[in-house]
Amino acid sequence: MASRRDFIKISAIGAGVLAVGAGAFKVIKVLSSSEEIKKLVVDLKRTPTYCEVCFWKCAGWVYKNSEGKIWKITGNDEDQHCNGRFCPRGTGGVGMYYDEDRLKSPLIRVEERGKQVFREATWDEAFELIATKMKDISSKYGPESMALFTHGSGSGYFTTLLKAYGSGNIAEPSYAQCRGPRDEAFFATFGEEAYSPEITDIRDTRCLVLIGSHIGENMHNGQVQEMSDAIDKGAVIITVDPRFSTAAGKARYWLPIKPATDMALLLAWMHEIIYNEYYDKKYVEKYCSGFEQLKAHVKDFTPEWAYGITTIKPDQIRKTAKEMADASPAVIVHPGRHVTWYGDDTQRIRAVAILNALLGSWGRRGGFYRPAKFALASFPIPAFKAPARTWQDIFPGKYPIASSPVSNALIDASVAENNPVYPVKGWFVNGTNLIFTIPNQANTLKAIQNLDLLVAIDTMPMEITGWADVVLPECTYLERYDILRVSPHRKPAIALRMPAAEPMNNTRSAYWIARELSKKLGLSGYFPFEKQEELLDWQLQKAGSSLEEMQRIGVKTFERDADDLYFAEDENVEFSTDSGKIELYSAFFEGAGFDPLPKYVAHEEPAEGFYRLIYGRAPMHTFSRTSNNPNLTDLMDENSVWVNPLVAKEWGLKSDQYIWLKNQDGIITDFSVKVRVTERIRWDSVYIIHGFGHAQKQMKRCFGRGVSDTQLITNVLVDPLMGGTGMRSNFVTFVTEKAEQEVVS
Amino acid sequence: MRYAMAVDTRKCVGCSDCVVACQTENNVPIGFCRDWVVEVMDGTYPQLEIEIRSERCNHCVNAPCVRCCPTGASHIIDGGIILVEHSDCIGCGACMASCPYDARYPHPDGYVDKCTFCVHRIKNGLSPACVAVCPTKCLYFGDLDDPNSDVSTVLKKRKFKTLIPEAGTAPQLYFLI
């Protein structure tokens, strides 16, 4: 296999072959810059793709060099997700392909779980073993005892497989570990979620309010681009964050809030907006219900009240409320994305939704636009038999408003002591490193030890693949077709991903893996096409295009059916809530036994000598999945712990010193982390970038670099409404010396 | 013709996309770079200011790297772009020592390498890879002699500064503030 370094040598120099038998001088001679320039302008073959390094799924082009090897990836100008500009992760997607540590062959575990002793196997052997175990689980416990944890483009195929097999226990950690509370809160309020990409009309906004959301550090491409456009147009940015984020550095107002008190600020803003009559009266009257109840509810939540809780001065609260009102309806109180913080997250995001409703921003230019999505034809396959039992039958009555299966509930169902009504005994895990995704690692490992089958499908050896019984090596997105991308956006559009190269080593596409397994399980009727491109062509023909056309253009954008990106003046809008109105007061929540209006609840504070652990994103990494990517590791190869200078002084910590972190439950990080003494973080908190501290030795570049926040998140505040795992109530202290210890996770 | 670049520090988020795009476009070996990002923070919590800059060779009008090059490998071409002819470079490092901006790196194959303003792209009417990729559109490139170029237009509208002007190199990288 050609490593990235080999590749660079060959193509940059263009003299890998010439070098043989030639003197070093001659090699250099060939490499003159003019030669290089000539080489680079050759018209190179390009193939369309959409990116899989994160969930934004930008469409772009993969270029190959004159040796036919993947060279670079750039954005497709026609694509609304990226407007021709990929983010660093997408540009560095080549590293995912060239990473020499990739999984190369199917693996079958030969020693006890977690010891990571595997033997290479053929695909057929691996499928045979999985199918036998799945049949055992089905006959012993019922097919619902198989669960799928999934993320990304492979999800659809394994979902089809699992549904055909008889289980609906299919969870995306992106729900309960990330955006779930937001989607439920917006659904309860507007009858619609905030979508992905979010329907925030940032490019035309006059005021953008970010609560803990660090756009620019989270590199959600279209949003970052639009925030930049908004800065150009002079929009007011208000950031609420205990950390001086990059976005805070661009903001007119930075409110350095005491962590875990955002709800108090949101309530005070509502108070200001209602009692100063800043709200959009016509909009509220026409579209909203429950205004009087809300008004009475927030009566006492004055800026002075909030000051005592948030440490944000009343004057700042007033000024920022006025800024929002002045910009209304071109104002966005951003719904956020990773919002699982304190266990009352659905209620907090309800407060965000209500604020937007008061400001009349939903359905308005510069607020939230109405998305349009292309409706693709689905090829007829046999109907799925409804599973006899759902995930909600496992722990009856828990998480009543969750609209998707809750990953952590399925994991809890694999631990016998939790007394599930029925157990989950088999896991398929695709494209999500559960050890780094799900908080309380001890619980996840306990669940794993209880399984009859754990199959991990990934491109990289991750922590989770180390615990698997069978590891199936997926090829990367650059080596395969996948489902057509039809995300909601301003205009409906289709994007194609096609292979730029043959799958490396013995890797295969997720589609092929799911289809071959379906054959072993006697379910091949659910995958009627041997080659995915045949299905794509069928779908594209129905859409008035063709595979051939899409291979040429990559992205096809259509006009909207009607000119309805925003609400028309006085339009009668029927919202998909029970009342057909925007529900400021949620009868739905009340009926489910929860507060119909959001309330402030005080959260636990750090003990003496402990600091709240806040984690976030770096623009060049996605979760824990890019930590070994050679191109992206080159930009950031470890995280650091941000410590306020006052705290550093007290502890005698210096920048660049390596320390360990210990949490409130006595958990000490496996690895040490570099200290970054900086004014950018509050004195009551520390901050680290998520995704580092890998204990998987097979990822040679990132093993042992930095620390894992997930390891320190043992206090999990579960949202009773929808099961989201609140992860911001963990507190850490500093350990400057630690005995050598074998890493076991 | 006088090529120059402007960097809007108010928009740059420091994502380093310019760095990766340059590395892949120009096959810069991993571990090296022709452009990079600098973050400067000032103040005490919560009175803070931050400036983020994407930096690269300043393609100076009065370029010490060209003057000190013993072989003539470092040279200036039309439009003021400074290039290194790899085949003439002996890797002595004099240019690296003379550059106030630390804009050059020793390529593992024995020559000194640096930003070319993606001359192979601009010759074909494209913008440099870093400019083309930047998600915040904080990089502006063009001909200062053309009053309608992107860079001329933005420099007329905005306040700007250059880095280490006291070195007297007349740098052609402008930072919008």
Residues of A in contact with B25 (CB under 8 A): 40, 72
Residues in chain A: 745
Q: Looking at the complex, does the CB of residue A32 fall below 8 Å from at least one CB of chain B?
A: yes
Distance of CA A640 to the CA centre of its chain: 21
The CA distance from A12 to the nearest CA of chain B, in Å, is 5
Decide if B135 and A87 are in contact by the 8 Å CB cutoff. Answer: yes
In whole angstroms, what is the distance from residue A244 CA to residue A303 CA?
22
**Neighbouring-strand partners of residue A732:** A611, A663
> Any idea where the domains of chain B sit in the sequence?
3-176
Compute the Cα dihedral for A437, A440, A445, A446 and give only its sign.
Answer: negative
Strands A146-150 and A453-458: unpaired
Give per-residue pLDDT as tens, A208-230. 999 999 999 999 999 999 999 99
Burial of A497 (0-12, 13-18, 19+ CB in 10 A): buried
Q: Which amino acid is at A449?
A: Q
Given a cut of 60, whether residue A12 has pLDDT beyond it is no
DSSP-derived secondary structure for A379-396: ---PPPPPPSS-GGGTST
Nearest to A225 by CA among A233, A234, A217, A216: A216
Give the orientation angle of helix A345-358 with respect to helix A262-275, to 10 degrees.
Answer: 20
Quick: pLDDT tens for A448-480: 999 999 999 999 999 999 999 999 999 999 999
CATH of A186-370+572-585, one of 3.40.228.10, 3.20.20.70, 3.40.605.10, 3.50.50.60: 3.40.228.10
Residue A17 pLDDT more than 90?
A: no
Q: Cβ of B24 and A13 within 8 Å?
A: no
Q: Residue A45 has what pLDDT?
A: 83
> Which amino acid is it at A175?
Y
Residue A7 has pLDDT above 50, yes or no: no
Interchain contact, B44 vs A24, CB within 8 Å: no
pLDDT above 90 covers a percentage of chain A that reads 92
At B47 the pLDDT is: 97
Which whole number is the average pLDDT over A149-172? Answer: 97
Q: Which residue on chain A is closest to B82 by alpha carbon?
A: A33
CATH class label, A611-735: mainly beta
CA distance A667 to B158: 52
Per-residue pLDDT reduced to its tens digit, A541-560: 999 999 999 999 999 999 99
Chain segment B92-139, per-residue pLDDT in tens: 999 999 999 999 999 999 999 999 999 999 999 999 999 999 999 999
Model confidence at A29, pLDDT cuts 50, 70, 90, reads very low
Domain assignments of chain A as residue spans, ordered by start: 1-41, 186-370+572-585, 611-735
> Which residue type does B154 have?
V
Closest among B140, B139, B141 to B122, alpha carbons compared: B141
pLDDT single digits (tens) A249-259: 999 999 999 99
pLDDT at A524 over 50: yes
Please give the residue of chain A at the shortest CA–CA distance from B32: A634
- The stretch A514-521 carries a mean pLDDT of 98
pLDDT in tens, B86-95: 999 999 999 9
pLDDT reading at A183 higher than 50: yes
A256 touches chain B (CB under 8 A): yes
pLDDT tens, position by position, A659-695: 999 999 999 999 999 999 999 999 999 999 999 999 9
A246 vs B14, B19, B134: nearest CB: B14
pLDDT confidence of residue A738: 83
Q: pLDDT > 70: what percent of chain B? A: 100
Q: Which residue of B19, B20, B83 is in closest CB contact with A33?
A: B83
Residue A528 CB coordination number (10 Å):
14
Query: For the segment A290-306, what is each residue's pLDDT rounded down to a tens digit?
Result: 999 999 999 999 999 99
- In the predicted model, is pLDDT for residue A606 greater than 90? yes
Q: What is the pLDDT of residue A286?
A: 98
Q: Which residue has the tokens 């990226």?
A: A82
Q: How far is CA A492 from the centre of its chain?
A: 23
What tens digit of pLDDT does each residue of A65-121 get? Answer: 999 999 999 999 999 999 999 999 999 999 999 999 999 999 999 999 988 999 999
Q: Give Dmax (Cα) for chain B.
A: 53
pLDDT of A39 strictly over 70 = no
Q: Is the pLDDT confidence value at A36 over 70?
A: no
Strand partners, A733: A662
Instruction: Kindly report the average pLDDT of chain A as a whole number.
Output: 93
d(C-alpha A47, C-alpha A59), whole Å: 11
Rounded CA-CA distance A53/A622 in Å is: 7
Using alpha carbons, select from A645, A719, A709 the residue that is nearest to residue A340.
Answer: A719
Q: Is A232 on the interface with B (CB under 8 A)?
A: yes
- pLDDT of A742 reads 57
Q: How far is it, in rounded angstroms, from Cα A132 to Cα A455?
A: 13
Beta strands in A634-698 (DSSP E): 640-643, 658-663, 673-677, 685-689
Q: What is the pLDDT of residue A743?
A: 57
pLDDT digits (tens, 9 = 90+) for B15-53: 999 999 999 999 999 999 999 999 999 999 999 999 999
Q: What six digits make up the tokens of A37?
A: 């320039």
Beta strand ranges found along A284-328 (DSSP E):
288-289
Distance, in Å, from the CA atom of B138 to the CA atom of A252, rounded to the nearest integer, reads 19
pLDDT score, position A6: 29
Which CATH code for domain B3-176? 3.30.70.20
For residue A651, give both structure tokens. Answer: 């502890």
- What is the CB-side half-sphere exposure of residue A45 using CA atoms within 13 A? 12
Contact A456, A484 (CB under 8 A): no
> What is the rounded average pLDDT of the residues A624-637?
96
CB within 8 Å: B137 and A228: yes
